[in-house]
């Protein structure tokens, strides 16, 4: 990722190559059997600049940690891979200090030395205690220190008498931290801790992360990237202060989830612009513009795109099914969300709305909205035209053959 280092902050220089970023959902190694080797075999790493590892948890005490229980630590850094499961084609040794998916990521980076990786903190399920971690100067300092030690210094806990872990066991795997607090000030899960000062404290937390990353850079001679995931919803726009962009290398803006099973009518969930039928609808362009209007540098904003669709049922065939009364899709096609790869395998009527930068699929009385490569091409042109920092896809196991990632890469040339 090319750029200029100014007082410890990586600043995207005008005219630089836009970034190609993809999220890897660690839990889907077990849930969907999508491993780093699957990612390597797809050829996708050659089309990415940065991999975001989702997610790191924030404890109730406001610290970075690996959640308790055997499965999380086992899959992350203790599981010994057989030769046919491994990126290298060689079986893990029982006593090596790092195993699991983190070791596989290290092997992948050896094959693709330009591929960087950030540890993304929080997400929808693990943002509950972000507010606690950000609350005071002392809590912020201790929280950031715990994250630096665990994820950047690689000091993994030793558990259950397994030989993996210890000081520096995962050192160098990650060179970045991504703050995916969903969301400062509310709007996330109902059980999230919230506080009236969350917006201001998020800014102070960003400042503390930047300070400690710069200190670590002085120590190691390596640059460290700090990013944040920002909501595309107008309801959360006030949760961010423009000062954060002085300390972030970039921020991803979620250009999806504009609609879903909470809607009683079909609607695009990742449209670039409002559709003609609903000129007041939220859109990726509106989400980006809110941050530009706030004062964010365009080149630090990376537009997020989905590798999944949202669906409804009971939809009549009027206006290609858009804006029609409906119920969330049932389990006939794996519920109201579905991976891009599964949607592409369905036989139905497809419609590209070029003006809205959106796509839909009718299968019987079901209607799905998602991004296909043609939509990605439109969004890539948009990123280049607005001078944005690139594109990000959530998430890679939903695009197992890399069709969307390749389209993303091509669109930004």
Tell me if residue 211 falls in helix, strand or coil: helix
Residue 71 has pLDDT above 90, yes or no: no
Question: Rounded CA gap, 393 and 251, in Å?
Answer: 13
The pLDDT of residue 16 is: 82
pLDDT digits (tens, 9 = 90+) for 207-262: 999 999 999 999 999 999 999 999 999 999 888 999 999 999 999 999 999 999 99
The pLDDT of residue 335 is: 74
Number of H helices, E strands in the chain: 11, 17
The pLDDT of residue 333 is: 61
The stretch 351-376 carries a mean pLDDT of: 97
Mapping DSSP onto H, E and C, the string for 353-388 reads ECCCCEEEEEECCEEEECCCHHHHHHHHHHHHHHCC
The pLDDT of residue 70 is: 62
pTM above 0.85, yes or no: yes
Beta bridge pairs of residue 121: 56, 179
State how beta strands 176-181 and 225-230 pair. Answer: parallel
Residue 204 has pLDDT above 60, yes or no: yes
Please report how many Cα atoms fall inside a 13 Å half-sphere around the Cα of residue 133, on the Cβ side.
Answer: 31
What is the band of 332 on the pLDDT scale with cuts at 50, 70, 90? Answer: low
pLDDT digits (tens, 9 = 90+) for 156-200: 999 988 999 999 999 999 999 999 999 998 999 999 999 999 999
Cβ neighbours, 10 Å, residue 410? 13
Question: Rounded CA gap, 104 and 290, in Å?
Answer: 39
Query: Who's near 193: CB < 8 A, 6+ residues apart?
Result: 128, 129, 130, 131, 132
Sequence-ordered strand ranges (E) for 46-159: 50-58, 64-65, 116-123
* Structural domains for the chain: 4-254 (3.20.20.80)
Question: Rounded CA gap, 311 and 324, in Å?
Answer: 12
Query: Who's near 392: CB < 8 A, 6+ residues apart?
Result: 19, 21, 22, 23, 52, 252, 302, 303, 304, 305
Residue 20 has pLDDT above 70, yes or no: yes
Please name which of 281, 121, 308, 129 lies closest in space to residue 206, comparing C-alpha atoms: 121
Lowest-confidence segment of 6-20, 55-69, 181-195 by average pLDDT: 6-20
CB contact at 8 A, 375 and 357: yes
pLDDT digits (tens, 9 = 90+) for 74-105: 999 999 999 999 999 999 999 999 999 999 99
């Amino acid at each position: 990722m090319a750029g200029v280092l100014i007082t410890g902050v990586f600043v995207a220089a005008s005219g630089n190559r836009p970034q190609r970023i993809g999220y890897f959902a660690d839990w889907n190694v077990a849930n969907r059997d999508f491993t780093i080797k699957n990612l390597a075999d797809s050829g996708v790493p050659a089309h990415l600049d940065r991999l975001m590892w989702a997610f790191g948890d924030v404890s109730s005490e406001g610290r970075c940690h690996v959640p308790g229980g055997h499965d999380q630590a086992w899959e992350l850094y203790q599981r010994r891979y057989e030769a046919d499961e491994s990126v290298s084609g060689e079986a893990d040794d029982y006593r090596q200090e790092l195993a699991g998916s983190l070791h596989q990521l290290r092997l992948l980076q050896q094959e693709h030395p330009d591929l960087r990786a950030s540890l993304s903190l929080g997400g929808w399920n693990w943002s509950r205690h972000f507010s606690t971690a950000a609350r005071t100067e002392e809590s912020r300092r201790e929280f950031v220190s715990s994250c630096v030690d665990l994820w950047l210094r690689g000091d993994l806990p030793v558990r259950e008498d397994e030989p993996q872990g210890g000081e520096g066991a995962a050192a160098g795997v990650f060179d970045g931290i991504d703050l995916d607090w969903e969301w400062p000030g509310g709007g996330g899960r109902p059980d999230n801790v919230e506080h009236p000062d969350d917006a201001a404290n998020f800014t102070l937390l960003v400042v503390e992360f930047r300070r400690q990353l710069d200190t670590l850079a002085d120590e190691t001679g390596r640059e460290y990237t700090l990013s944040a995931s920002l909501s595309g919803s107008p309801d959360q726009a006030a949760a961010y202060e423009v000062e954060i962009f002085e300390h972030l290398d970039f921020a991803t803006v979620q250009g999806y989830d504009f609609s879903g099973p909470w809607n009683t009518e079909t609607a695009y969930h990742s449209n670039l612009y409002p559709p003609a039928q609903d000129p007041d609808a939220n859109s990726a362009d509106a989400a980006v513009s809110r941050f530009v209007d706030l004062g964010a540098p365009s080149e630090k904003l990376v537009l997020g795109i989905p590798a999944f669709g949202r669906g409804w049922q009971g939809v009549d065939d009027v206006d290609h099914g858009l804006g029609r009364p409906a119920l969330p899709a049932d389990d006939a096609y794996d519920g109201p969300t579905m991976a891009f790869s599964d949607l592409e395998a369905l036989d139905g009527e497809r419609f590209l709305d070029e003006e809205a930068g959106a796509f839909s699929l009718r299968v019987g009385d079901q209607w799905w909205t998602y991004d296909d490569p043609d939509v990605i091409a439109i969004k890539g042109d948009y990123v280049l035209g607005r001078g944005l920092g690139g594109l990000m896809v959530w998430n890679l196991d939903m695009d197992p053959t890399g069709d969307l990632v390749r389209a993303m890469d091509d669109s930004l040339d």
